[in-house]
Amino acid sequence: MSPFAGPKNNSQGKLKPILGGSSALAALIIVVAVVVMVRAKNARRKRDSNYEKIEAVVMLKRYSYADVKKMTNSFAHVLGKGGYGTVYKGKLPDSSGQDIALKILKDPKENGEDFINELASMSIASHVNIVSLFGFCYEGSKRAIIYEFMPNGSLDKFISEDMSTKMDCKTLYDIALGVARGLDYLHKSCVSKIVHFDIKPQNILLDEDLCPKISDFGLAKLCKKNDSIISMLDARGTVGYIAPEVFSKSYGAVSHKSDVYSYGMVVLELIGVTSRERAENCRSNMSSMYFPDWIYKDLERNENMRVLGDHIMEEEEEIVKKMTLVGLWCIQTNPCDRPPMKKVVEMLEGGVEALVVPPKPLLTPAIMAWETVEESERLLVF
């Protein structure tokens, strides 16, 4: 036997694993390619499925992205910006030339859940206190919602600019009543029950006559009319307006009553109960003078509710007291203690003498609309 026979056989033996490794690598590449193709196909299917869902519920005009640019004059007039995206002013491309607001969604989720929620909710809601939807754009990652333009902007601008102190009580009352009617419609009279989950001043728009309209349904949930409890995977809403049960199940079940809580906070903010000046005056005694403690002290002493300032007239005090009592009923800790929106409308339309002072909430709502998110989280006492 040749002395070189052994090494030759060994080198041939080493060649087999090398060839086997190459085959495994090729197989791995094929598997990866197949997985990528399948995922791409599934993504296309999901996009197609989302579009089918949109088409099924939205019998409105679909615009191309080129149409969107034309309607907004290449996005020339910005109305507002937020985490959701940017809102532009534009005009419908038809002969009417009607003014519109056009919201371009920023970095939409892969499944476009917020976009679909908003379209589905707004397309089936038709009420004087709900913003009207005109159309949408769904072109790849380009997504836009087109709705009616509201010349007076959002309610938060009036509050942040202390405009509420310059508005008469009747106007504030009409705004509160209009929002209540809009929510009552969403909860009870719409084709499907709609729970908004993000009622706040920024999402209440005002038309030329200061008629309020609820907008921004990105976090909304559509439910069956007989559904009393809503399944939630995570908290949703804006700090300062989120109901306790949305944070923790220990406070009760999530339902349409979660909107009632948010509405109550808006009403109290609207009449100045949660104003910075009032809260800062109460901080000298942090243990007992948090909002709404001082409100109850005034009510117990039968003092006039002059939360709007010294300019309030005697005949307006009844309206302010009524709104205060309604707001306090709406922010009760236990959802079962909060009135449904239908009852809220009745309370606002009725006389103040029919209202009783509600129990003081077990939780002190130390989160106020004027606080920063960091301060709100620090003061949260749930």
**Bind-site residues for ATP:** 103
Helix, strand, or coil (residue 222) = strand
Give the β-pairing of 61-63 and 133-139: parallel
Within 10 Å of residue 153's Cβ, how many Cβ atoms?
14
Cα 40–chain centre separation: 32
For the chain, counts of helices (H) and of strands (E): 12, 10
What single letter denotes the amino acid at residue 358? P
- Per 3-state DSSP, the chain is made up of helix, strand and coil in percentages (nearest 5) of 50, 15, 40
What's the rounded Cα separation, in Å, for the pair 380 and 382?
A: 6
One-character DSSP codes across 317-382:
HHHHHHHHHHHHHHT-SSGGGSPPHHHHHHHHHS-GGG--PPPPPSS-----TTS-HHHHHHH---
Asked if 227 is an active-site residue, the reply is no
Q: Which of the residues 114, 198, 216, 259 is marked catalytic?
A: 198
Within 10 Å of residue 302's Cβ, how many Cβ atoms?
6
What's the rounded Cα separation, in Å, for the pair 101 and 118?
A: 15
Rg (CA), the chain: 28
Binding residues: 103
**CB proximity list for 17: less than 8 A, separation 6 or greater:** none
Burial class (CB in 10 A: 0-12, 13-18, 19+), 139: middle
What's the rounded Cα separation, in Å, for the pair 265 and 258?
A: 11
First to last CA, the chain: 88
Burial class (CB in 10 A: 0-12, 13-18, 19+), 341: buried
Q: Which residues are catalytic?
A: 198
